[in-house]
Amino acid sequence: MIFKCQAGPRWARYYVGPIQLLVCYGAVVGSSLLGGQCMKTIYLLSDPVNEAMKLYHFVMIFGGLLLILAQIPSFHSLRHINLISLLLCLAYSTCATAGSIYVGSSSKAPPKDYSLKGDSVNRLFGVFTAIAIIATTFGNGIIPEIQATLAPPVKGKMFKGLSVYLQPTNELLERNFSDAKCAELSARNVIPRLISRTLSVALAVTIAAMLPFFGDINALIGAFGFMPLDFTLPVIFFNLTFRPSKRGSVFWLNPQ
């Protein structure tokens, strides 16, 4: 009876919608921190002795680049950036795989230690943290679907990919102060969009600089965002939509 009362528009607005926004905005925080960590790694490799610049400096630098990308009006303008992102991801995956194989099979590789550190309690928490991180890693594909449900029209958007994770949130919130009768690049729409997106990115970068724990942020997003969207809600919605018999195996095996 509880699910019957909560299903429908209210369910989507007060439960599913906030989780979707949490996932999208959390991805902005996580990507800002990851970008800063990558830039710091490159910096230390080029100059191992000089450690004058801290992690939050690189997070702020990456936030400046993110701020520029966030001003792209809509998803339709991201296809070229998506292509570059795809090529970079493929190159990174290829280099990481080749490097791992080389280090693993090389006789000059440093000694390997696969032992688990910490007591039993920390290991147990580590297991659940790892599960949440895995949910975040493999659940990123759901974000284009979130964008498609937040901002119509749906057609074609799910296949464009996603380079700026803040875009779904932008398109949803900007309905309140944009004017559809004016041109997309008119001052009436550009100025509010510039202010709102700048504030959103600035807040995300500030959070990333204050909480430099990429693994923990991933676990938080996975636990409260991707796991409900990927595993819990589909089961509930299936039972609510198709109403399988409680005496049948489908109803009881579906949550499994």
pLDDT in tens, 1-22: 333 434 555 666 677 778 878 8
pLDDT of residue 60: 93
Pick the closest to residue 145 from 135, 133, 137, 157 (CA basis).
157
Contact status, residue 37 vs residue 58, Cβ threshold 8 Å:
yes
- Let me know the angle formed at the C-alpha of 19 by 16 and 20, rounded to the nearest 5 degrees: 85
pLDDT in tens, 24-55: 888 888 888 988 998 998 898 888 877 788 88
Name the one residue in this structure whose structure tokens are 């009006």. 73
Pick the closest to residue 232 from 223, 245, 241, 243 (CA basis).
223
The Cα–Cα gap between 252 and 2 comes to: 18
Classify 187 in phi/psi space as left (phi over 0), alpha (psi -120 to 50) or beta. Answer: alpha
pLDDT of residue 157: 45
The Cα–Cα gap between 16 and 229 comes to: 8
pLDDT of residue 164: 55
The Cα–Cα gap between 235 and 252 comes to: 10
Q: Is the pLDDT reported for residue 215 higher than 60?
A: yes
Orientation angle between helical segments 214-221 and 120-139, nearest 10 degrees: 70
The Cα–Cα gap between 73 and 75 comes to: 7
9: its two tokens: 């528009």
Per domain, the residue ranges of the chain are: 1-73+124-177+187-251
Pick the closest to residue 27 from 228, 129, 162 (CA basis).
162
Pick the closest to residue 230 from 160, 136, 149, 167 (CA basis).
136
The Cα–Cα gap between 15 and 147 comes to: 16
End-to-end CA distance of the chain: 22
Q: Sorting pLDDT into bands at 50, 70 and 90, what band is 246?
A: confident
Long-range contacts of 76-81 (CB under 8 A, 24+ apart): 76/160, 78/160, 78/161, 78/162, 78/163, 78/164, 78/167, 79/160, 81/163
pLDDT of residue 98: 92
pLDDT in tens, 90-129: 998 899 899 888 888 887 777 777 777 778 888 888 888 8
252: its two tokens: 């009881």
pLDDT in tens, 175-196: 777 776 777 667 777 888 888 8
Q: Sorting pLDDT into bands at 50, 70 and 90, what band is 254?
A: low
pTM: 0.72
